[in-house]
Amino acid sequence: MMQRSARVFTCLALAFMAIVRAQAPAPAGQGRPSAKQGPEARAARAYQAAVRQGAPALRAFLEGVPKGADLHAHLSGAVYAETFLREAGEDGLCVDPTALRLAQPPCTGQLLPAVQLSGNITAANQALYNRLIDAFSMRGFVPSSGWSGHDQFFAAFGRFSGLGRTHIPEWVDEIASRAAAQNNQYLELMETPPFVHATLLAHQIGWSADLEQADPQAFAGLRRQLLDKGLRAEVAAGLDDARRAEDGRKQRERCGTPQAAPACQVEVRYLYQVLRGNAPEHVFAQTLLAFETVEASMDAKDDLWVGINFVAPEDGLVAMRDYTLQMKMIGFLHSVYPNVPIALHAGELAFGLVPPEGLRFHIRQAVELGHAERIGHGVDLMEEDDPNGLLKELAQKHVMIEINLSSNEAILGVKGAEHPFPIYRAAKVPVALSTDDEGVSRIDLTHEYVRAALDYHLSYADLKQLARTGMEHDFLPGASLWARPDDFAAPAKACEREALGGDTPSAACKAFLDGSEKAAAQWELERRFRAFEAKF
Which positions are annotated as active-site residues?
348
The DSSP letter of residue 369 is: T
In this structure, the strands spanning 112-113 and 184-191 are unpaired
Find the Cα–Cα–Cα–Cα dihedral 250, 256, 258, 262, rounded to 10°.
50
Residues 101 and 159 sit within 8 Å (Cβ to Cβ): yes
Question: How far apart are the C-alpha atoms of 33 and 27, rounded to whole Å?
Answer: 12
Residues 310 and 276 sit within 8 Å (Cβ to Cβ): yes
Question: How far apart are the C-alpha atoms of 325 and 245, rounded to whole Å?
Answer: 33
Question: How far apart are the C-alpha atoms of 166 and 160, rounded to whole Å?
Answer: 15
CA atoms lying within 13 Å on the CB side of residue 344: 26
DSSP 3-state assignment of 113?
A: strand
Residues 43 and 139 sit within 8 Å (Cβ to Cβ): no
- Per DSSP, the residues of 284-306 read HHHHHHHHHHHHHHHHTT--SEE
CA atoms lying within 13 Å on the CB side of residue 342: 26
- Per DSSP, the residues of 150-199 read HHHHHHHHHHSTT--GGGHHHHHHHHHHHHHHTTEEEEEEEE----HHHH
* Residue whose C-alpha is closest to residue 522's, from 463, 481, 476, 490: 481
Residues 202 and 288 sit within 8 Å (Cβ to Cβ): no
Phi, psi of 501 (to 5 degrees): 80, 5
Question: How far apart are the C-alpha atoms of 16 and 14, rounded to whole Å?
Answer: 5
Beta bridge partners, 273, equal 309
DSSP 3-state assignment of 262?
A: helix
Phi, psi of 416 (to 5 degrees): 50, -130
Question: How far apart are the C-alpha atoms of 80 and 170, rounded to whole Å?
Answer: 12
Sheet containing strand 343-346, strands side by side: 343-346, 374-377, 400-403, 431-433
DSSP 3-state assignment of 104?
A: coil
Instruction: Give the orientation angle of helix 39-53 with respect to helix 55-62, to 10 degrees.
Output: 150
Contacts of 44 by beta carbon, 8 Å cutoff, 6+ apart:
29, 30, 459, 460, 461
Which H or E run includes 59? helix 55-62
